[in-house]
Amino acid sequence: MPTVSSSATAPTAPRPGLLRSLGPSLITASVVIGPGTITVASKLGAGLGYALLWVIALATTFMWLFSTMAARVAILNPDSLLSVVARLYGRPLAMLMGVLAFLVTTAFQLSNYLACATALTVLSGIGETVWIAVVGAGGLFFLLVRQLYRFVEKAMAALVFAMVLAFVFNLLASRPPVGAVLTGLVPRPWPEGYTALAMAMVATTFSVIAALYQGALARQKGWTEADLGLSRREALVGLGLLGTISAVIMITAGTVLRGVEVNSAAVMAEQFRPVLGPVAVWLFSLGFLSAGFSSVVINPMVGGGLLSDGLGLGSGVNDRWPRLLTAIGMVAGVATAYLTLRAGTAIEGIVWAQRTTVLAVPLGAAVLLVLANDRRAVREHRNGWLANTVGVAALAVLVTMTVLRLRG
């Protein structure tokens, strides 16, 4: 009886669909939708209503573009993203990018711990100092999981769902005027005195550091050149949720908190009580806690992973050095959160952490834009003219923000 080779008869395994492939962009969204997003979007909504929704839409577009660039570079190369940078442009540049990423994410840890502590205080009445220690221990617990990526992917998907549920419920209960909301998508200048908050809104939505890490997550997913289209669609869904949640928060604040001075998360939560009832306060605090804790876990993973990658010590989520540097970032965040609580209000620490990003991200954006047009990195999959036009515009925005921040 003649034999047939297995290679000729073995069916090709079907590729997973979009929903089953969701993961990398949800992890990215979970770190970007942090307490800063909620705080800054609430401040802008309370002050200007829906007028700056167009800023969220623009920043989300930038975030999607640069995240897909990072994923493309990582997918098309046998080594990690910053290893590609080291190979093509020199190890010093890769090291600098890793160090800057670690410093920025460590600064963000301050706001993440403060957010979790504030939300838990609203829910329980127990002081923030106790909760910072509890949340810090909870974050370190994640690092004990052996198959960290798979566990984190599922956990972050659950937390993003919790945020969507909490904030969309409050949005529907507030009943914003649809016509007025739509006018907020039309670009217009903001009034004097809101430049710093508008910059913070861009920084917290368009996080180049998180976009860089999308490359490591795409590699962890095992995607190949055949999955480039899938990676773009997956990013569109996950980062689309990022923009949607940010917009929902701004719209709700513009409806319920208009004219209220938002100087603490507790104030934000309590302002919902007379209008939407006690359930809204609980849901807002749940969303704030989900945003804070997801960032407590992922934010130091981003910094630790990129620093390890830049130093040539490995980039895998499950590798030794990324885990160790992640733990260092978590501990540093707990220490700075304690110091901030002793020195002043938590809300100002959150806004300060958002503003620091504009000092470090232009370099990362410029390198990603160059990589996405370098045949040695992406072969025939270089950016088209539209992607380059939008990318250059995004880089110009980041450079302008940096100059304004340095002058201010």
pLDDT of residue 357: 56
Query: What are the structure tokens assigned to 302, written together?
Result: 């981003």
Higher pLDDT, 109 or 73: 73
Mean of pLDDT values over 344-362? 59
pLDDT-derived band at 16, boundaries 50, 70, 90: low
Question: Any idea where the domains of the chain sit in the sequence?
Answer: 20-99+150-178+191-290+345-373+385-407
Residue 346 predicted with pLDDT over 70: no
pLDDT of residue 7: 40
Mean of pLDDT values over 5-10? 40
Average pLDDT, the chain: 84
Least confident of 113-122, 308-317, 365-374: 113-122
Per DSSP (E only), the strands in 146-296 are: none
Global confidence as pTM: 0.86
Distance CA 31, CA 297 (A): 8
Residue 10 predicted with pLDDT over 50: no
Between the CA atoms of 251, 257, 258 and 264, what dihedral angle is there, to the nearest 10 degrees? -110
pLDDT of residue 125: 79
Mean of pLDDT values over 243-251? 93
Mean of pLDDT values over 190-199? 89
Tell me what percent of the residues of the chain surpass a pLDDT of 70.
87
Least confident of 115-119, 194-198, 379-383: 115-119
Q: What is the pLDDT of residues 76-118, one digit of tens each?
A: 999 899 999 999 999 999 999 998 888 888 877 877 887 788 7
Residue 167 predicted with pLDDT over 90: no
Phi–psi pair at 201, nearest 5 degrees: -65, -40
Burial-class residue 54 by CB neighbours within 10 Å (0-12, 13-18, 19+).
middle
Q: What is the pLDDT of residues 176-190, one digit of tens each?
A: 999 999 999 999 999
Q: What is the pLDDT of residues 205-230, one digit of tens each?
A: 998 999 999 988 888 888 999 999 99
Q: What is the DSSP string of 290-351?
A: HHHHHHHHHHHHHHHHHHHHHTTS---TTSHHHHHHHHHHHHHHHHHHHHHHHHS-HHHHHH
pLDDT of residue 177: 93
pLDDT of residue 12: 47
pLDDT-derived band at 337, boundaries 50, 70, 90: confident
pLDDT of residue 353: 54
pLDDT of residue 270: 66
Least confident of 268-282, 363-377, 392-406: 268-282
Burial-class residue 263 by CB neighbours within 10 Å (0-12, 13-18, 19+).
middle
Higher pLDDT, 346 or 184: 184
